[in-house]
Structure 1
Amino acid sequence: MGNKHSCCVYPGGRSSGRSSASQKGGGGDNHEDTREESVNNLQHISEREPDDLEQDPSLHPTAGPLFLTRSEQVIENGLIRRRSRSHLDDNKTLKKSSSCSTIFLDDSTVSQPNLKNTIKCVALAICYLIRNRTDNRVLDIFDEKLHPLTKDGVAPDYDRNNPEHRHIYKFVRTLFNAAQLTAECAIITLVYLERLLTYADMDMTPGTWKRIVLGAIILASKVWDDQAVWNVDYCQILKDISVDDMNELERQYLVMIQFNINVPSSVYAKYYFGLRTLAEAYDLTFPAEPLSKERAQRLEAMARTWEDKYAMQVGGGPGRNGVKKWSSLDNVCTYRRSVAILS
């Protein structure tokens, strides 16, 4: 997608439609009819979406992600542990809390997630997708025995033992560090991964998870990043794979997700907060750090920008077609700035 080393097949036969229209020749009416017919034959992306859209977590904002469904027991146990900790003695270590002099903030937000913690959460989600799979339905393109990632091949029991969380994290983190991918790309990777499992009606097994994750990362990096990583670059990261293999993996991935690479913002946010829920249940906390003066200034600048946009909409402007919206005592909106004391 976007470079000579990638492989992307576009549905609908657009090029053939143009050539057939140009070969007809003749009068203008025949040319227009042929062109209209070729355009009408193109299938819109909405027509390729599954009928049970409300059941697809990668498209519907209210459908629960697969990894949360398959880790319900872990989340429930995590809630029980947190409730029991609230009744412990006062001898436990006190949690850092914000005060008038020091403000502690989590450095991971939905728009700018923390890279290391996000990859840990995605690896944990993949771990539970493998452990709690419903069956062992696999496709040959993802089988490591048929398409090994190393020259050494695979062990005889490569498809029997579930991988541990640290092994999945090491594999994903190596790819992200070498390709310099962002945390947002990790969330998109998880969305594509679950979309593949849903559309292709398959499972992620110990013998297929690496190639499934690799295909999702390749696709997510090209869709999300402006400067996408070429398939040949992944051959430099994983020394024993070929460009042709990566091209075929990408092509098959696109076919199986029906070329649907769109990720709505609501779905992205749902997966982000779902990962945080799983992290809290697994005691994988996002560390809170004191708010520095530089970061406070950046947050204030961002807040001021949104305040100005909101004032334009409420007070009249391009967002309201120049019509001013008057406020009453029941809906008074004032802006007040307060000075934070930072240590």
Structure 2
Amino acid sequence: MDVRGKRRKSCSHHVFPDHLREKYSSCSTIFLDNSTICQPETRISVQCLVFAIYYHIKKRGGNRSKDIFDERLHPLTQEAVPEENFDHNPDPETIYGFIRPFFSALELTAEFSITTLIYLERLIVYAEIDICPTNWRRIVLGAILLAAKYVDDLAVWNMDFCRIHQGITLKDINELETQYLFLLRFRLHVSASVYAKYYFDLRSLASDHKLPNEFACLRKERAQALEAISRYCENKSLCRAAVRKPRSCDNFSAAQRASAILS
């Protein structure tokens, strides 16, 4: 009994306070958040996309690039960007501030953030380049553009992107899209297995960074709702299941820029 008591006492020192506040599933109780593979939570997915891009830049092996992505040759602002801005890596807040207006104005959902990351990583492999301070904006922009057009054949025009980001010209974004497609070898299809892998990888990233998620006990009504979503997506591609067609971007100016919420 003394040995057992000492073991319980020693183990109690290894229980972190945060763990006491976490909810764990058991045989009788299941806790789930609002994100499913068929209907991911957009806010968390976009934040995870930001962190994935941040780590790609931070852990890159070099500064290999191509002229079409070099912001010094093809600036995204009407004003000249100081050279010292390209000497340091962007922080997550800066990346989020660049990405969020596109998702907000075009009403892109979580599926687009996952597909954006897939295209971005394909480009790194196929084009043999690195995401670095001089090219990350244009690489991300091209991936969002292709995802918005391909995932559900949305009525998105290149001019819409020019309106969202005033520094982009139509000629420039047309050339960016063309070069991006060639470098990806026109391989835009995303299989269900690849989409699922990226979905769970991003969920792990959200857990590692303790991004806020609202977990709730799985009740009968919620289980029926999840079952209904699964039936709806049964005969559809996972990355197209819950995509909504956005309204026209003619009135995009009414959309407000969301403030960064990363910490």
Which bin holds the TM-score, normalised by the shorter protein?
A: 0.7 to 0.9
Residue among 250, 271, 288 paired with 2:177? 250
Structure 2 runs not aligned, ≥5 long: 1-10, 235-263
Q: Higher relative contact order by CA 8 Å / sep ≥ 6: 1 or 2?
A: 2
Alpha-carbon distance in structure 2 between the residues aligned to 1:95 and 1:303 = 27
- Residue in 2 that maps onto 1:167: 94
Instruction: Report the Cα offset of residue 158 of structure 1.
Output: 2.3
- Residue in 2 that maps onto 1:286: 213
Residue among 57, 74, 87 paired with 1:130? 57
Amino acid in the other structure paired with 1:298: A
Quote the sequence identity (%).
Answer: 50
Amino acid in the other structure paired with 1:226: D
* Pair 294,128 (structure 1): closer, same or farther in 2 beyond 3 Å: same
- Residue in 2 that maps onto 1:270: 197
Alpha-carbon distance in structure 2 between the residues aligned to 1:90 and 1:195 = 41
* Pair 241,110 (structure 1): closer, same or farther in 2 beyond 3 Å: same
Q: Please tell me whether residue 215 in structure 1 is matched to residue 136 in structure 2.
A: no
Aligned residues: 224
Structure 1 runs not aligned, ≥5 long: 1-83, 308-343
**Pairwise mapping of residues 180-329 of structure 1 onto structure 2 (< 5 A)?**
180-291=107-218, 295-302=222-229
TM-score, with length taken from structure 1 = 0.59
Residue among 106, 116, 133 paired with 2:33? 106
Q: Deviations over 1:222-276 (max 9, x none)?
A: 1113323110001110012111111000000001111111111111111111112
Amino acid in the other structure paired with 2:49: V
- Residue in 1 that maps onto 2:254: none
Q: Cα RMSD over matched residues?
A: 2.9
Alpha-carbon distance in structure 1 between the residues aligned to 2:72 and 2:169 = 15
- Residue in 2 that maps onto 1:311: none
Contact 2:38–2:229, Cα closer than 8 Å, also in 1:
no
- Residue in 1 that maps onto 2:244: none
Alpha-carbon distance in structure 2 between the residues aligned to 1:257 and 1:293 = 45
Contact 2:38–2:230, Cα closer than 8 Å, also in 1:
no
TM-score, with length taken from structure 2 = 0.76
Alpha-carbon distance in structure 2 between the residues aligned to 1:100 and 1:263 = 35
* Pair 303,160 (structure 1): closer, same or farther in 2 beyond 3 Å: closer
Amino acid in the other structure paired with 2:81: V
